[in-house]
Structure 1
Amino acid sequence: MRNAVNDKIYTVEEYIQYELKSDRRHEFINGQLFEMPGEKDINNQMAGLIYILLIQFLKSKGYQIYNHDVKVAIPDGRKFYYPDVFATKEEKSPDNQYIKYKPEIIVEVVSESTQVTDYVDKYIDYIKIASLRYYIIIEPETVLVTVYEKDETGNWFARKYTNINDAVKLEKLQTEFLVKDIYSA
């Protein structure tokens, strides 16, 4: 369980200003700030490989791909997270320089300190985003890629990949990659 940085309740505007001046990143949950933990080198490398893959496959399709330092808003306006990697076709504007509102794919590389948050809390929040088509969770210590996908009726289902030679298919984005491409870190 993560602990808030302090007892102060921040407005969204105060949070954004705080983040612009802070040398550490914080997620915003119901007015409270939660410091982002550091990550192992393998987590960082795997997130980097996913970032490169998404640029390779989605940039030419009009997507912008972001990693680590751009926030995603949850529709209720009370939560902002820093996904490891995400892609969106959301047009850039002065109102979304720091926070994006329409991701289509979000990827998290879990660690011991974020496992419950990524599989439970963030899953519950991310699937509220109307534009989201895929939420992918990667386990760095063992070969396990979980792909949550939204179907045509708005329901979510999961596919798990445990074989290094499996092809992860993201049909809605007309993209696929091999599991081994992200486990070569």
Structure 2
Amino acid sequence: MAAMVAVPVAQYVSPEAYLAAEATRPIKHEYREGYVYAMAGGTDAHNQIAGNVYTLLRTHLRGGSCRTYFADVKVRVEEVNCYYYPDVMVTCDERDRTTNTFKRYPCLIVEVLSEATEAFDRGDKFADYRQIESLQEYVLISQTRLQVDVFRRNEEGLWVLHPYSEGDRVSLASVGWEGAIAEFYEAVDLPSPKERPPVADQHR
């Protein structure tokens, strides 16, 4: 996701008012507990990675009952009153065919990390996404190094981290996809080791 910037509001904004306004805005906004946040633009690497993931999953799932969405379709987290724009998400639930601008029952959500959003994506946003009963996997992809973190819900309902790095094959069990991590980074110019932020900063 691109960076979120708080938009000052004088009072609580209802979900209905947010959706009505969002339909006419030239800039996308996310919605969390009555507050509206503008989304800043992303980077070349961010766009390429998200596009690669969408293409891989869309091709893999073509002809089936699942649908893959890229950037412009929101996910509704009703339990915590939020609307987010995942970089990529997949839903296989027929109930999601009845809504055009948002989905409620994704099985897979993918976010491409940025320096501005990583703490939120790993923290509060992940806590919100965990309230979605249909969600089976949450994927975080670095845009500065070959690094993919797949959080998968196990049979006990606990979220288990499956980390992947250079040379690994990534498995997305929720949609039955497996492939080389390098496929996510096709046509992406990663920074040199000297230009990368320290690993410790990546997981703060």
**TM-score, structure 2 normalization:** 0.85
Matches for 1:125-144 after TM superposition, within 5 Å? 125-144=128-147
Per-residue deviation at 1:152? Answer: 1.2
Matches for 1:1-185 after TM superposition, within 5 Å? 3-7=5-9, 8-76=11-79, 78-91=81-94, 92-93=97-98, 96-163=99-166, 165-185=167-187
SS in 2 for 1:147: strand
What amino acid sits opposite 2:101 in the alignment? Y
Q: Relative to 1, partners in 2 of residues 1:57 and 1:2: Cα closer, same or farther, differing over 3 Å?
A: closer
CA distance in 2, matches of 1:136, 1:59: 21
What amino acid sits opposite 1:139 in the alignment? S
Q: Does the 8 A contact of 2:74 with 2:83 survive in 1? A: yes
C-alpha RMSD of matched pairs (Å): 1.5
Q: Relative to 1, partners in 2 of residues 1:119 and 1:45: Cα closer, same or farther, differing over 3 Å?
A: same
What amino acid sits opposite 1:74 in the alignment? V
Per-residue deviation at 1:2? Answer: 5.2
Per-residue deviation at 1:9? Answer: 1.7
Q: Does the 8 A contact of 2:141 with 2:149 survive in 1? A: yes
**TM-score, structure 1 normalization:** 0.93
SS in 2 for 1:61: coil
Gaps of 5+ in 1: none
Percentage of pairs with the same residue: 34
Q: Relative to 1, partners in 2 of residues 1:11 and 1:49: Cα closer, same or farther, differing over 3 Å?
A: same
What amino acid sits opposite 1:114 in the alignment? T
CA distance in 1, matches of 2:176, 2:4: 37
Gaps of 5+ in 2: 188-204
SS in 1 for 2:26: coil
SS in 1 for 2:62: helix
Q: Does the 8 A contact of 1:90 with 1:100 survive in 2? A: no
SS in 2 for 1:60: coil
Per-residue deviation at 1:101? Answer: 0.2
What amino acid sits opposite 1:182 in the alignment? F
CA distance in 2, matches of 1:25, 1:61: 30
